[in-house]
Amino acid sequence: MIAFEAVSKTYAPGARPALDGVSLTVAAGEVFGVIGASGAGKSTLIRLINGLETPTSGRVVVDGDDVTALGVEGLRALRRRVGMIFQHFNLLSGRTVAQNVAFPLKLAGRPAAEVKARTAELLARVGLSDHAAKYPAQLSGGQKQRVGIARALATGPKVLLCDEATSALDPETTEQILELVSNLNRELGLTIVLITHEMDVVRRVCDRVAVLEDGCVVESGSVEDVFLHPASETARRFVREADGEPAAGVGLEGRLVRLTFRGEATYRPVLGEVARATGVDYSILGGRIHRLRETPYGQLTLALTGGDVEAAIARFQAGGVRVDPITPGEGA
């Protein structure tokens, strides 16, 4: 649905590029996350998709159209197929909730009767039918973002771009908005690209993720892989931010290993079974049990001592548990 082909973007001649040779693809119907610190190039990346920014080199292809080659009218047509929501909502303060939602339809010159019916339908979808006549200043942050979402959906887009859409919201509201976004993905088959600096957002809603640092994609893959086995230092840092610092295990006896359980294995009493069968003792140095979208997972850092450590590791692996050796001080 969306493809970046060696895309670079430099704002001023000679300046450090905001994006440097980024290539990635987003499949139709998936939720794709881009995570990075501020200044990593996330905002630029998402704005290249609907042509709010133009690349200095490379191509961006969205729904079969080369965004950079589109004229003014082509770009307008594309933007009706690509909705966007924002961190600060960007609602028109002088228009009511209903008028805000109707705005993209009026811009497209749709007949009044259609605008009215569609607006009512959209407000019902985001649960704001009772607030149609209010002005944005009278709404809470979560309600404002719902208006933003309804507005972004007005022209029936195939793609929804979320620009730090939950960064200005409290945790509870964030949860509600992410759930709404997930539902839209499932029910409407919407392709979603979201940028964020919070790994937690990625973990809750994304199928795949790209980690951006200094304008380059340093890691990408399924959320499970990146989250459970981050390969880059940047990804590890984001995972630590989401989960807290695990115990380092410095100065402990024995073999340090990290076990990763996914799906059903998470709930089986594997540790005890293996310990009894092989005579290995274990100390738990750190651990987490959580969910990635619908998949439960657990990760434990252990120090294994005594007994047959090799046999224990083999048994873990046979039981569907991934075992990674770790060196003290490396962290999870």
Residues lying near another protein in the complex (CB under 8 A): 50, 52, 72, 76-77, 79-80, 82, 84, 86, 88, 90-95, 103-104, 106-108, 135-137, 151, 154-155, 161
Q: What is the closest distance, in whole angstroms, from the C-beta atom of residue 189 to another protein in the complex?
A: 21
Q: Could you tell me which of 159, 209, 210 has the C-alpha nearest to residue 184?
A: 159
Q: Could you tell me which of 91, 322, 105 has the C-alpha nearest to residue 302?
A: 322
Cβ closer to another protein: 11 or 267?
11
Q: What is the closest distance, in whole angstroms, from the C-beta atom of residue 85 to another protein in the complex?
A: 9
Q: What is the closest distance, in whole angstroms, from the C-beta atom of residue 188 to another protein in the complex?
A: 18
Cβ closer to another protein: 36 or 83?
83
Q: What is the closest distance, in whole angstroms, from the C-beta atom of residue 154 to another protein in the complex?
A: 8
Q: What is the DSSP annotation of 22-91?
A: EEEEE-TT-EEEEEE-TTSSHHHHHHHHTTSS--SEEEEEETTEEGGG--HHHHHHHHHHEEEEETT---
Q: How far is CA 160 from CA 114, 194, 281, in A?
A: 22, 8, 50
Q: Could you tell me which of 148, 174, 47 has the C-alpha nearest to residue 90?
A: 148
Cβ closer to another protein: 100 or 196?
100
Q: What is the closest distance, in whole angstroms, from the C-beta atom of residue 192 to another protein in the complex?
A: 15
DSSP state of 294: T
Cβ closer to another protein: 74 or 320?
74
Cβ closer to another protein: 196 or 260?
196
Q: What is the closest distance, in whole angstroms, from the C-beta atom of residue 138 to another protein in the complex?
A: 8
Q: Which residue pairs from 175-183 have beta carbons closer than 8 angstroms and sit at least 24 positions apart in sequence?
A: 175/204, 176/142, 177/142, 177/145, 177/146, 177/149, 178/204, 178/205, 180/126, 180/146, 180/149, 181/31, 181/149, 181/205, 182/31
How many other CB atoms are there within 10 angstroms of residue 113's CB atom? 8
Cβ closer to another protein: 92 or 124?
92
Cβ closer to another protein: 69 or 92?
92
Expressed in percent and rounded to 5, the helix, strand and coil fractions of the chain are 40, 30, 30
Cβ closer to another protein: 75 or 242?
75
Q: What is the closest distance, in whole angstroms, from the C-beta atom of residue 128 to another protein in the complex?
A: 17
Q: What is the closest distance, in whole angstroms, from the C-beta atom of residue 67 to another protein in the complex?
A: 13
Please state whether beta strands 322-325 and 255-262 pair in parallel, antiparallel, or not at all (unpaired).
antiparallel
